Amino acid sequence: MTPESDASAPGPVVGDEVPGPSPLEILAQIGDLDIRLDQIIHHVRNLPEREIRAGIEAELGVLASEAKVLDAQIAGLERQQRRHEDEVARIEAKRAHNSERLYDSHLTSPKEAEALTAEADALGRHQTEIEDQILDLMEELEPLTDARADLAQRQSEAAERMAAVGAAIGAAEGEAGGERDEVLDERAALVASADPALVSIYEDRRAAARGTPVLGRLIGLTCSACHLEIPSVEYERITNLDPDELAECPHCGALLVR
């Protein structure tokens, strides 16, 4: 080929630009982002850690109920023990007082001395009985206090697990929140470049739909919103519409992007 023919050969036109997405395609991209936002919300609400936390909360509730019962039993036995110990202290004080009187140099009556001796013996026997009861109470308390200590350990371990799962939920929520903010920023940019009338129609339908798809892509003969095949006659009509003209799926009523 000669230089002259090279010079006359057609070349790329300076300034050619790739056409941007159509208004309906921009709307579809907004719809895709809204689906992603719904997925993020659903993911956060249904984190497996939430079920784990609910299980730990139930476990802590059961442990608290068991602790309440044990605490009441222990407190009752400890009150009895304190009453018996107070009684022993009173008896010991009485015996000490009688002993002082018995050996008091001013005590001259044999009968009074005999009475003090008899009372001392009776008090000693009573003290022994009460001390035996104290020992019985201590034996009864021992397994309860052991059980309470074991229960406290289980409560502490459950509380640690609760703190760990709470931290995991917080981390997941934080990560999802960051992703949500990114999606919202991208959505805002798309909305700013979209046809306001189309966005208004879409938002109204989305509010009325309450979570059901309001946008679908025409993939072959199928609507991606309801996954049903559109009749061929209706398909021909829709595909022959102006590219920016709205079309609806005859099955679910979703706006179709084609």
| Residue 104 to residue 116: CA distance in whole angstroms | 12
Average pLDDT over residues 182-210: 93
Cα–Cα dist 27/255, whole Å: 10
More confident residue, 5 or 201: 201
Q: Where residue 60 falls among pLDDT bands split at 50, 70, 90? A: very high
Per-residue pLDDT at 176: 96
Grade residue 18 by pLDDT with cuts at 50, 70 and 90. Answer: low
Q: How far apart are CA 69 and CA 46, in angstroms?
A: 35
Share of the chain above pLDDT 70, in %: 91
Average predicted confidence (pLDDT) for the chain = 88
With beta carbons less than 8 A apart as the criterion, state whether 256 and 248 touch. yes
Mean pLDDT in residue range 161-186: 97
**Residue that the structure tokens 């005859």 belong to:** 250
Alpha-carbon Rg for the chain in angstroms = 44
pLDDT > 70? residue 17: no
As beta bridge partners, residue 215 has 255
- E strand or H helix at 219, and its extent? strand 215-219
What pLDDT score was predicted for residue 100?
Answer: 78
Residue 63: pLDDT band with limits 50, 70, 90: very high
85 vs 51, 88, 92, 125, 230, CA distance in Å? 50, 5, 10, 15, 91
Question: What are the beta bridge partners of residue 217?
Answer: 257
Q: How much is the pTM?
A: 0.69
Per-residue pLDDT band for 104 (boundaries 50, 70, 90) equals: low
pLDDT at 12 over 70: no
Contacts of 65-70 with C-beta under 8 Å, sequence gap 24+, read 66/151, 67/148, 67/151, 67/152, 67/155, 70/144, 70/147, 70/148, 70/151
